[in-house]
Amino acid sequence: MKTLRLYQRFLGLGILVILLAVGLSKAFNVEVNDLPLSIVLSWFEQKAVAILLSLLHLGIRNIRLGPSLPAFVSPNVLDVLVENFAIKPISDVDADLSACLAGES
């Protein structure tokens, strides 16, 4: 039980969002990527790596990542993430928010 609490604390809200998205996709019998959700992963802590890898493992696409890209995301790695998962670096706050609210990928 102690390990579970540590895991929950480590992943925090990120894992809850993932579980919520997966649950909604099952409830509505659609793919997670077909839900009207916008995922913006803020890169402030190391745990964001675990959350990002979980999202990619689930095949979730169109994730906005920022405010700056992590050091391990070289231009070549970013090209692979963009091509295979439609990852987008965060740009201007107003433009990103408008795109999310408009349902743009």
What six digits make up the tokens of 86? 């439609």
The size of the chain, in residues, is: 105
Q: What residues contact 51, with CB distance under 8 A and at least 6 apart?
A: 11, 14, 15, 18, 41
Instruction: Read off the pLDDT of residues 37-59 as tens digits, 9 standing for 90 and up.
Output: 777 777 666 777 777 888 888 88
**Is residue 79 within 8 Å of residue 43, measured between CB atoms?**
no
Using a cut of 0.85, tell me whether the model's pTM lies above it: no
What domains, with CATH codes, occur in the chain? 2-101 (3.40.50.2030)
Closest CA to 35 of 26, 46, 47, 45: 26
Residue numbers in the chain where pLDDT is lower than 70: 1-14, 43-45, 105
* Beta sheet of 63-66, edge-to-edge order: 39-42, 63-66, 88-89
